[in-house]
Amino acid sequence: MEKKKWKFLVQGIAYLAIFALFIAMVVFLNSTSNNSQKEEMDWVPEAKEYPEGLELVAKNESMELYFEPAAVQFIVKDTLTGTEWRSNPENAEKDTIAFGQNKTAVQSLIGVTYVDDQSSYYTINSFAACVKDKTYTYEYKDNGVYLNLQFAKQGFEIPCFFGIENDCFVAKVFSSQIKQHGSLKVAEIALLPYFGAGSLEDEGYMVVPDGSGALIYYNNQKQNYQSYIQRIYGNNLALNVQSSTKVAEDATMPVFGIKRNSEALLAVITQGEYQAEIRAEVAKKTTSNNIIYSNIVYIQGENNTLLSGSDKEESTVMISPQHNEITYEISYYFLEENAGYSEMAARYHRYLTEEKEMKSVAKTEQKRANLTFLGGVKVRETLLGIPYHTVKPLTKFLELSETALELQKKTGNCFQISMYHIEKGGSESKIPTSLTYEGALGGKKGYKKMTQTLDAAGIPFYPVYDPMTIKKSGNGYRALDGVRNVSRSASIQYEYLLTTGAKDTSKTPYYLVSPKYINKIITSLLKSAQKKEVEKLGISNLADSVYSDFRKDSISANKTGAYWEEALKKAADSLEELLLQGAYAYAFPYADIITEVPISSSQYDIEDESIPFYQMAVGGSAALYSKPVNQSGNVRELILRSIEYGVSPSFLLMAKEADALKDTDYQNYYSVAFEDWQQEIQSILTELSDLDTVFGQGIIAHKKIQENIYAATYQDGTVVYVNYGEKDTDVSGITVPAMGFYRKGGN
C-alpha cells in the first residue's frame, strides 16, 4: 500500500513539474519586457485639429486622389471613366445595419487585431481609436499621403501610405516601422476593408482566389453563412494542428476583384502576400455593404494541449513571434467600363508578365492528357515471422515504357508522362540531393533504358522529386532539420482521417525541411540532373505550400516565400523544362508545365460560381493539367470542366493490378490500376483530338451563357461551348450535346 502511495505521489510531482515547465515556457515566449510596460504609461500622442473637406493631393494622366484630413478618408477618381472609388461608403455614419464597433469600422481605413501578454486577442479600428481622438499625422509627398495612425490607448503607431503610382492606386503599411510603446502587440491589420464597397442597391460581384477562382454575388442573401476568409497559399504548415478537415482548395493567388454595376477593379497584393488573407462579406452580415479586402497576419496563435488524455489535460494558446519585416502593399488597377472577371484576369496576366517576368508564350506543348504513374511504396512485410520494410513496386520502369508504347499505338503521340516515388526508398525516401532510382523498379539501368525508349518514341517524360519532405534521415538531413512550431518543438506532419479530421496515427508522420536549406538542396539536385543530362524534371510541394520556421531565429512565411522563389528561379534557369506538381501564383513565372491545376473553387456556402480565373491568368504561359480525374466521383463532369477551363485532364495510375495497394498505408490511391482505365483513357484521348489547337492557348473571355451552358473564348478566336445538362441545347444556332462540348471557329 505504501508503494502505491509513493507511486501516485511521484506521478503527481512529475505531472506538476511538467505542467510548471510548460507554463514557464509559455510565459517566457509570450512575455514582454518591463521597460515596454513602463513606456505604455509615458507615451501620449498629441491631439490636433484638422481641416474639413476634400483636398486634391495627387494626380497623373488617368487618376486623381482626394484626401479629407478631418475624416481621414479619400476618393480616387478614374479620370478615364469618371468613376469614383471611395475609401469608405458615402454617409457611412448613417448605416442602419451597423452597430457598435461595426459602425466605426465602416468609417475606418484600417482595422487592427492586437494581442496582450496573456495571449488574448482584441480588435479596434482607426476611426474609433485615432480619428475620433484626433491622434494622427499626415503629409502630402510622393504623389500621395503619408499617414501615421496613433492608437493612444493601445500604445502603437502604424505608418501608412496611399498614393498614385503609374497606372494604379497603391496602399501600403510600413510594417517594420510600426511602433509599439507598451506590452500590446499588433497581430493583424485589415487594410482598406471598405474600399469600393457595394451597397444594398448596387449590382455586381466580388472575385475571390479560391482554387480556380469564385464569384460572390452582391446581396446574395447569404449573410447567415460564414464570411469568406482564406489564407493566401494555404495555412501555415508549421503550426501545430490538433485536427483537420481540409477544404478542397487553397487561395492560389494574391488577388481579388470588385465588379460594381458598370465599374470594376483588380487588387493585387504586391508585397507581403505570404502572410496575407483575403476576406469578403455580403451586405446585412454586419453592415449595409458588400466588402472584400486583404488582412495581413503578423502574429499567429497556436493551440497546444498539455498532458493530453489524462485527467489533468490543459489547453493553452501560444503566440508566435511578430513577423513584420516586409512592407505590406496592395495595388488597385481600375478597369474599363463594363469590365468583368475576364478583364480582371487579363490585367493580372499582364501584371505577371510585365512585373514578374512570367513567359508570355509557353515553350512546352500542352498535350491532351498527363499520365502520372506511381513508382514504389514502402510497405511492411514479414519473413519467418520477422517484420521488415521493403519497397513494393507499383510501376516498374520496363512496365511504364511498355504501357506508354501500347497506348501510343492506339491514340498517337498525344500525352505526356510524369512519375514519382522513383528514387531509392520510393515513397519514404531521403531528401533528394541527387537523382537516384529505386532498385525494385529497375534501378539505374532500367531507368535509363526506359527514358531512351520514351525519348525515341517522342513521349515527354518528367521524373518528379520532392525536396521538402523529410520522411527518412539521410543525405545530410534529419528530423532535427525540420521546421519548429510556435512552442519551438518539432512540427510533426500527419495525415488526417477524412471521417473525423483526427490525426491518422497509423501512418508514419513526417517533417518539413527548414526553408533555409532549400536552395542548397535544389542546387545539389540540379547539379546531379546536369551531370546525368536530365533536362526535364518535375518538383512537388515547393510551388504550392508555405510555412514558417519558429526557431529562436525564426523565419517568417514572407521570408520563406523569398527562399522558394529563389529556388524555383534556379531550377527554371537550369532545366530545359520544369514541371511543377501544383503551383500557386508565386511559382507562375518559373513553370513550363503545371499539374494538379484546380478546376473548381472550394464551393463555400457564401460563394455563387466557380470561374477559371487561375487559367486565364497563367494559361498560354505554361502547359496546364488538372488534378487526377480518376480520383474523383464524377469523371465525366471533371473532363468537361477541364475542357471549359482549357486544362488537359490528368490520370493517376500504376501498372500493377487493383489489389496491389491492399493492406498498405496507400489505400488512398484508389482506382489507379491502368488496366481498369485503359479503355476510358483511349476514348477520352480520341474525343479531345478536336481540341489539339485549343489546349495551350490562353482563355481571353469566359461566360455563363445560360443554366448549365458555358463558353470559353481563346486567343485565336475559337469558342468552346460546354453543356453540363442532360439534354442537347441550342445556343445561337448551334447544338451543344448533353454532357458534351462544341468547338466553334479556329483552326
Instruction: Assess whether pLDDT exceeds 70 at residue 563.
Output: yes
- By CB atoms closer than 10 A (0-12, 13-18, 19+), residue 152 is middle
CB 549 within 8 A of CB 516: yes
pLDDT recorded at residue 247: 65
**DSSP characters over 348-398:** HHHHHHHHS---SS-SS---SEEEEEE-EEEEEEEETTEEEEEEEESS-HH
The separation between CA 263 and the C-alpha centre of its own chain, rounded to angstroms, equals 27
For residue 456, what are the contacts with CB-CB under 8 A and spacing of at least 6?
Answer: none
When pLDDT is averaged across residues 98-124 and rounded to a whole number, the result is: 96
**17-31, 232-246, 528-542, range with greatest mean pLDDT:** 528-542
Instruction: Assess whether pLDDT exceeds 80 at residue 401.
Output: yes
The separation between CA 380 and the C-alpha centre of its own chain, rounded to angstroms, equals 35
The H or E element containing residue 571 is: helix 557-574
Q: Residue 33 and residue 564: Cα distance in Å, rounded?
A: 35
Q: pLDDT tens digit string along 4-17? A: 444 445 455 544 55
Q: From the CA atom positions of the chain, what is the Rg in Å?
A: 28
When pLDDT is averaged across residues 298-311 and rounded to a whole number, the result is: 77
Q: pLDDT tens digit string along 452-505? A: 999 999 999 999 999 999 999 999 999 999 999 999 999 999 888 777 778 887
When pLDDT is averaged across residues 637-647 and rounded to a whole number, the result is: 97
pLDDT recorded at residue 19: 47
- DSSP tag of 128: I
For residue 259, what are the contacts with CB-CB under 8 A and spacing of at least 6?
Answer: 204, 205, 206, 207, 339, 340, 341, 344
The model's confidence at residue 315, banded by pLDDT at 50, 70 and 90, is: confident
- By CB atoms closer than 10 A (0-12, 13-18, 19+), residue 733 is exposed
Is pLDDT larger for residue 311 or for residue 449? 449
pLDDT recorded at residue 26: 44
For residue 638, what are the contacts with CB-CB under 8 A and spacing of at least 6?
Answer: 599, 626, 629, 632, 649
Closest alpha carbon to 613 in 206, 224, 203, 94: 206
Question: What is the CB-side half-sphere exposure of residue 315 using CA atoms within 13 A?
Answer: 7
When pLDDT is averaged across residues 395-409 and rounded to a whole number, the result is: 97
When pLDDT is averaged across residues 34-49 and rounded to a whole number, the result is: 65
289 — phi, psi (to 5°)? -120, 150
Amino acid type, 38 = K
For residue 634, what are the contacts with CB-CB under 8 A and spacing of at least 6?
Answer: none
CB 422 within 8 A of CB 447: yes
pLDDT recorded at residue 29: 44
Closest alpha carbon to 635 in 686, 667, 583, 683: 683
- Print burial letters for 278-306: b (CB count within 10 Å at least 16), e (below 16): bbbbbbbbbbbbbbbbbbbbbbbebebeb
Instruction: Assess whether pLDDT exceeds 60 at residue 30.
Output: no
The model's confidence at residue 604, banded by pLDDT at 50, 70 and 90, is: very high
The separation between CA 371 and the C-alpha centre of its own chain, rounded to angstroms, equals 24
Q: How far is CA 379 from CA 437, 505, 652, 660, in A?
A: 17, 16, 20, 11
For residue 496, what are the contacts with CB-CB under 8 A and spacing of at least 6?
Answer: 243, 244, 245, 246, 502, 503, 504
Q: Please tell me whether residue 513 adopts helix, strand or coil conformation.
A: strand
Measured torsion, CA atoms of residues 138, 140, 146, 152, in degrees rounded to the nearest 10 = 0
Q: Residue 629 and residue 246: Cα distance in Å, rounded?
A: 19
Q: pLDDT tens digit string along 68-106? A: 999 999 999 999 999 999 999 999 999 999 999 999 999
Q: Residue 555 and residue 573: Cα distance in Å, rounded?
A: 26
The separation between CA 636 and the C-alpha centre of its own chain, rounded to angstroms, equals 27
Q: What percent of the chain has pLDDT over 70?
A: 93
Q: pLDDT tens digit string along 435-455? A: 999 999 999 999 999 999 999
Give the orientation angle of helix 557-574 with respect to helix 518-531, to 10 degrees: 10
Domains of the chain, residue spans: 2-30, 368-459+622-695, 698-747
**DSSP characters over 528-555:** HHHHTT--EEEEESTTS----B-SSS-B
pLDDT recorded at residue 719: 97
Q: pLDDT tens digit string along 329-369? A: 999 999 999 999 999 999 999 999 999 999 999 999 999 99
pLDDT recorded at residue 33: 35
As beta bridge partners, residue 123 has 113
As given in the structure block, the three cell numbers for residue 257 are 476583384
As given in the structure block, the three cell numbers for residue 721 are 461551348
pLDDT recorded at residue 309: 61
When pLDDT is averaged across residues 689-698 and rounded to a whole number, the result is: 93
When pLDDT is averaged across residues 694-717 and rounded to a whole number, the result is: 95
Q: pLDDT tens digit string along 165-222? A: 999 999 999 999 999 999 999 999 999 999 999 999 999 999 999 999 999 999 999 9
When pLDDT is averaged across residues 128-155 and rounded to a whole number, the result is: 97
The model's confidence at residue 24, banded by pLDDT at 50, 70 and 90, is: very low
- DSSP tag of 483: -
The model's confidence at residue 310, banded by pLDDT at 50, 70 and 90, is: low
Grid-cell match 527554371, residue found: 572
As given in the structure block, the three cell numbers for residue 643 are 475542357
